[in-house]
Structure 1
């Protein structure tokens, strides 16, 4: 009798243990239909099966395993996906001999979910896995302008940055007077579309029923605020330009003199290379305003362009107490340009631009374009190529040389000398504005226009001003333009040169925004209004 009660107790305990074991995820009770073999765990067929995109309908392929490590061959009752909020949904599952598919799964909200697959035939075992649902994102680099045929490139990825390849969606332009456009992404997750919006508003990019990106429709032309409108001199103007393009945390700054620009003519490509604004100072004493701006930028490295006559040794010594200072200088301006080229390098087309060291407007006109391309600017005398320039061309392994200016500034003898080793072109006009126009005609890209356009004073030589210093507006703005992907057009104080007027009229549909640089003594208020009226039509 006592033994019988003991046996009953033992059997009861074993029954409870078996029941508890059956409740553990991935473990089944031993009394299943498989004679001791039951559903134990699952693995996803690929990483794509465990990562879904919110709103997108797809299948989840899994492999099921029994407790002996073999493909599970029993029956499956259901597949349930549970959210962290307690919600759950049952999905159809099919398959055999270990390979199963959960069909038509759609989850609308990003997050982690639990997949639970329940053993069939009254079995209590189940297997679980974690599904991660990510949002899709659209990245658009091109703007949409009203009443313009825009070519737009979009890249679609998940929130981890993985491209969504060969997936389809819709661009909804109905709110801006356009239409619905279907797209299918390429193998890199990108697609392109064309749209001409006729109303202001937003264009939505839709994927799996979700808005994954929005593109606002912008005015065809925007006149931005004047930069440096209250600047009293070149030092303060350079600071205003720097503040328009660079923020705290800028490690590098270029420093040059504020009264003569030959040494700094090649500085814009250096600025692009270093992501550094061009600041200015007097030659003998460091301007306190410039020092304050260097500190505000958080700069650590100062690159002085020009020799000690341009920026004194005393200035360098004072800066060396606080910053790492590098001087880039030669005996002449063309020697300095050659040294700068060693840092800038050369673009893939192996193109070098050469200007007369005294023809300051020609070098400035090319500056933003050369900087954007990664092409160096070298300098020459009128009738002979300086040895430092010739050596730089060899070191750079240049193939193409473009001379800036007519024969009055770069003689035929220089062109003939260079033509023996390089493919030489000349872009030169009858004055500085005509040369500028020829540069624009050759480099302005209408398929992807440079923007914004900065209008700055053309009074860049000492002889251009009756008193005081020439205007550094265009020189320092070339660095900003290169950073922003735009370019600089020099103008007189009151009028639009005829050659520039022609260029603007011909390309008015491609110039989407502009800014005027400097005070009214650089570009008058009336001229600013005239430029705005011209570009708005």
Structure 2
């Protein structure tokens, strides 16, 4: 028995033990939408989604993002929802949600210039069992982030983000929170960051955003810096999700707008980040569409149990965009979305003009794999270095270039739809006359 057959048998055993059946891969995902008449009601509804009761609640300003950006790791530590409120008075939706949660403790993020004393007094009179209100606020947003980080607790890993734009912090917040990593604001080199790194024995620093957002000089004063960023907020979001994909739970996927009509959005993402942090779910930033690489990443991670959760009304996150993800496993090939499959033969303009015949036989008696060969119709040429796909997913690959692939026998059962097979080489689809 040659090594290729042995590898094929090992792979078949592994895949069968995990019950991977690609013939059942075409399905739609569940979806829901959480939204209210405004950001305050939406934050209350997000709280209802995640908490029946809570002994702790975080209150952030719903119109001024900087102080709030670093609050998600603290919310995770306290297992607390984040409720948004305006500066001057307690919103009625927030008031009702506080009564429902009936917390022992409320933490207000920001000084009295961010959320004033009147709101604090109204909270005290609205929550019957409230024992204390903490306020975490410094002289500016940078000091506030450091104060919040100290409350989160000592960690060897930290996250640095810009204090001037909200999107990068929102992309990393649920992940940072789940990993107990404080988030600090750091646009430029400053003593506060350097002192924090030394006093907390930080050994790893994730810098989120390009050098225009977080200065390159910062890298000189932190430990083991790793910068994650893309050409825009949506690509940065994808880079972050991709970097931490092995830690992310894709059973719930939160879609939230990073912009609307050219205006930065942060409120729904902030509220949902506390909920997403509970199970390290991803917060996906969208606009009128979704980043292509983000879409491909989600495709590779979702299961039939995954739920797409849109934050905000359809004017903010469109129904069409949600449908794109809900029907994600019915979309065209993961390798080349421009191809169309029919009877195992692509009609794409990328296809080779010549047609091929595909033949297969059991690798050896009792094997769970087949030896599959692709030859030109006149028998003069054997195709090498190709990939076999089923329903857009690569199931076998001729990596050693001998022209033989070893797909598993589970792909050739009575319920297999043979029109879903495709063969590709060098990014082009090959016309072939079926598998026999």
User: Counterpart in 2 of 1:330?
Assistant: 138
Displacement after TM superposition at 1:233 (Å): 1.1
User: Counterpart in 1 of 2:280?
Assistant: 485
Which of 333, 339, 342 does residue 150 from structure 2 map onto?
342
Displacement after TM superposition at 1:403 (Å): 0.6
User: Counterpart in 2 of 1:396?
Assistant: 200
Aligned CA-pair RMSD: 2.9
Q: 1:535 to 1:481 in 2, by over 3 A?
A: farther
* Counterpart contact for 1:451–1:485, Cα < 8 Å: no
Q: SS at 1:434's partner residue?
A: helix
Greater gyration radius:
1
User: Counterpart in 1 of 2:243?
Assistant: 442
User: Counterpart in 2 of 1:455?
Assistant: 255
User: Counterpart in 2 of 1:283?
Assistant: 87
Task: Select the structure with the greater relative contact order (CA < 8 A; seq sep ≥ 6).
Answer: 2
Whole-angstrom CA distance in 2 between matches of 1:510 and 1:423: 39
* Counterpart contact for 2:250–2:302, Cα < 8 Å: no
* Counterpart contact for 1:221–1:512, Cα < 8 Å: no
**2:294 is the counterpart of 1:526:** no
Q: 1:326 to 1:221 in 2, by over 3 A?
A: farther
Q: 1:346 to 1:196 in 2, by over 3 A?
A: farther
Whole-angstrom CA distance in 1 between matches of 2:97 and 2:45: 10
Which of 431, 444, 451 does residue 232 from structure 2 map onto?
431
Q: 1:364 to 1:409 in 2, by over 3 A?
A: same
Q: 1:399 to 1:254 in 2, by over 3 A?
A: same
User: Counterpart in 2 of 1:244?
Assistant: 49
User: Counterpart in 2 of 1:296?
Assistant: 100
Consecutive unaligned residues of structure 2, counting only runs of 5 or more, are 1-11, 332-436
Displacement after TM superposition at 1:299 (Å): 1.3
Whole-angstrom CA distance in 2 between matches of 1:199 and 1:429: 36
Q: TM-score, normalised by structure 2?
A: 0.66
User: Counterpart in 2 of 1:222?
Assistant: 29
**2:77 is the counterpart of 1:273:** yes
Which of 140, 165, 178 does residue 359 from structure 1 map onto?
165
Q: SS at 1:225's partner residue?
A: strand
* Counterpart contact for 1:260–1:470, Cα < 8 Å: no
Q: Deviations over 1:372-415 (max 9, x none)?
A: 1111111112x323x33333323322111111011111122222
User: Counterpart in 2 of 1:498?
Assistant: 292
Whole-angstrom CA distance in 2 between matches of 1:253 and 1:397: 29
Q: 1:521 to 1:346 in 2, by over 3 A?
A: farther
Q: Deviations over 1:421-447 (max 9, x none)?
A: x1111112111111111111110117x
Q: 1:506 to 1:517 in 2, by over 3 A?
A: same
Whole-angstrom CA distance in 1 between matches of 2:104 and 2:19: 46
More strand by share: 1
Aligned pairs (5 A) from 1:162-177: none
Consecutive unaligned residues of structure 1, counting only runs of 5 or more, are 1-148, 152-177, 179-192, 201-217
